[in-house]
Amino acid sequence: MAPWWERYPDALVLETAALDAITHLGYTWKENESAKASGRLVLDLELTRDGKVLRFTAQYPDAFPYFQPLVYLHETLLGRHQHPVGKNLCLIGRDGEGWRPGHDTLAGLLSEKFPDIQAISAGAMSPDEVSAKEDHVGEPVSSFLNYAPNCAIIVPDQTPPTDVEFGRMTLMTRLAPVGNSEGPSIRGAVQTIADIGQKRLVQFSTSIPSFSSRMAGFWLRLAERPTIDSAMEKRLTELLSAKVPAFAAALRSARRGQYLIAGFVYPDEVSWRSTADDWFFMAIQVKQNAKGNRPPALLAYFIRADWGGEDAWMRRAPTLLPLRRKSALVIGLGSLGSPVAVHLARAGISRLHLVDFDHLQVGNTLRWALGWQYAGLQKTKALGEFLASEYPFTIVNSTEIRLGAPLFPDTPFSDYETICSLVKETDLVIDASANQRVSHFVADLARELGKPYLWLTTTPGGAGGVVGRVVPTRTPGCWHCFQHGLADGTIRQPADTGAIDIQPAGCSQPTFFGAGVDSDEIALLAARLAIATLCGGQADGFPDFEWDVAVGDLNRGGVSIAPDWTPYVLHPNTSCRSCGRA
């Protein structure tokens, strides 16, 4: 394939002309011939000013001019905007979002941006000038480390107190794959942080079922941000050994191939010009056992810390914070109820109670929230296990029950009493049963008990659907008003392809045609409506909708369309026995 300068010759002309135009600033440049012979454009540059010479290397990407060149400054290490190890400069905003293909040039970056970086690093700019020039992004040491791939240790929001310098920690990790010899395979979460005498300082109460292997480790507080260089791992290992004799003893007694975990907490710029505690970890492997006076031979890997406390987790979507005090009851875990449950857990709801009686079949996975590995499990069990592992801040309970089943003398519980109890305990009832009799019963029960009620349905073929809610004291009408509205035309019907039900092999009941790519649209709006309802009235919470019912089409005249929703305020219907009569 031709190199970029042959594909886009005008871009090369623009680059070379711009570089020649900054020679008066003290820049000289030349192409690296060996690199060009291999199909890469690499420039060696020098800037001579005040008798000093700065040397740069610029490497152009093969997709130039769509992406900016990477510029390295040799010998000199600046205080900011330069990678502490690679020494490449940050001449433009993170990820190069400010780069304009066909307009910007390497010469422009050097002449316009590099002087600012020098001035900022030298402290020669006022705070207001710095604020105007810099991206408001922190530059923590943890973002520059060379981490072992596919590894992470989750840490809580709380860090150990500054007056305790070191101690022990307990981690819960996922079991490493058998036969892994290409470095560590460590994924887990800190469970406890203690001082060296095992006095507990921090407890991370969140548990993840798949992190089932207990692992002991050590930690050390560093007084300041550490320096990154090729000797960093060795220096930190020696420092921890000197500070914590128990760690040194553990190294000497460790088996060949064994990993020891060491955590380092220290103050750093975790956000722009703002300092707080940060973490990184090292997995230190014993390559050769200690013998006599000979210390063990070690190999250390950096393991990234992943902030997984509730505060850190919710920071990306603060409007969802009110959900941390809310609960929902989801009745029906089919193609609509299962994705709604996942959406709510992912949004951080505090508690979910799941109700269904059916098991999952492989055929369901075309439109279900989970896949083949859960086939054969009860839907409540499958979702419960998944949510516990993937969204551990949500407490999930479940009940396997078929509403309306006969009550025999040996029946251990009444379905009516069970559902009554669950409705009383929840903040929102979500009806995804796709069963008119169940919806009639649950809607009336929610109204009787003064609980918000939300329902969602889809039509055969997944051509359309309905999402609606009734909130006591807020919604003028009720579920029956909605049904009468459909009947008298004041609320339109959703699109319907007229597809007939089918009975797949091994299934005792007919089921509808339809795919998850369609029904998920109904579930997504229902999840948004549920979140808005639960956050209603909360300061800075997820914004509410101005309607009560939405009727949607996804297919019209046999043609797929962008979801087309018609919203309605649910007014009392004159035919409704409860709401329509004065």
When divided into structural domains, the chain yields a total of 3
- pLDDT for position 474: 94
The verdict on residue 269 lying in a domain is yes
Q: Region 549-576: what's the mean pLDDT?
A: 95
Does residue 132 or residue 110 have the better pLDDT?
Answer: 110
Residue 548 resides in a domain:
yes
Q: Is residue 17 part of a domain?
A: yes
Q: Is the pLDDT of residue 408 over 80?
A: no
Residues 523-546 have a mean pLDDT of 94
Check residue 292 and give left, alpha or beta (phi > 0: left; psi -120 to 50: alpha).
Answer: left
185 within domain boundaries: yes
Integer angstrom CA distances of residue 208 from 86, 211, 366, 372: 37, 5, 28, 22
Domain-embedded: residue 578: no
In a domain, 246, yes or no: yes
Residue 580 maps to a domain: no
pLDDT confidence of 509, banded at 50, 70, 90? low
Between 170-179, 342-351, 418-427, 475-484, the lowest mean confidence (pLDDT) is in: 170-179
Q: Which of 259, 280, 313 is the last residue of a domain?
A: 313
Residue 277 exposure: Cα atoms within 13 Å on the Cβ side: 19
302 and 425: one domain? Answer: no
Q: Hey, what are 243's tokens?
A: 């500070």
Q: pLDDT: is 500 or 65 the higher one?
A: 65
Residue ending a domain, choose from 135, 169, 193: 135
Taking only the tens place, the pLDDT of each residue in 1-12 is 899 999 999 999
* More confident call, 347 vs 377: 347
Q: How far apart (Å, rounded) are the C-alpha atoms in residues 152 and 147?
A: 9
Q: Picking from 18-22, 138-142, 484-488, 577-581, which range would have the lowest pLDDT averaged per residue? A: 577-581
* pLDDT reading at 140 higher than 80: yes
Q: Which residue, chain included where needed, has tokens 């290490």?
A: 77
- Domain of residue 217, residue span: 143-313
**Domain co-membership, 169 together with 217:** yes
Residue with tokens 């009550």: 407
> 237 and 377 share a domain?
no
| Average pLDDT score over residue span 11-21 | 96
Whether 345 and 486 share a structural domain: yes
- What CATH number has the domain bearing residue 20? 3.10.110.10
The C-alpha angle 310, 313, 316, rounded to 5 degrees, equals 135
Same-domain check for residues 180 and 259: yes
291 and 345 in a single domain? The answer is no
If asked whether residues 166 and 307 sit together in one domain, one would say yes
> Which of 123-127, 389-393, 406-410, 546-550 has the weakest average pLDDT?
406-410
Q: Which of 93, 111, 135 is the last residue of a domain?
A: 135
Identify whether residues 342 and 193 lie together within a single domain. Answer: no
513 phi/psi in degrees, rounded to 5 = -70, 145
Instruction: Indicate whether 195 and 55 sit together in one domain.
Output: no
More confident residue, 539 or 400: 400
How many Cα atoms are found within 13 Å in the side-chain-facing hemisphere of 456?
31
Contact call for residues 502 and 363 (beta carbons, < 8 A): no
Q: Looking at residue 377, which CATH number applies to its domain?
A: 3.40.50.720
332 and 440 fall within a common domain: yes
Going by pLDDT thresholds of 50, 70 and 90, the confidence category of residue 582 is very low
Residue 213 domain-assigned (yes or no): yes
Q: Are residues 127 and 209 in the same domain?
A: no
User: Is residue 206 located within the same domain as residue 253?
Assistant: yes
The mean per-residue pLDDT over the stretch 145-166 comes to 96
Q: How many CB atoms lie within 10 A of CB 80?
A: 12
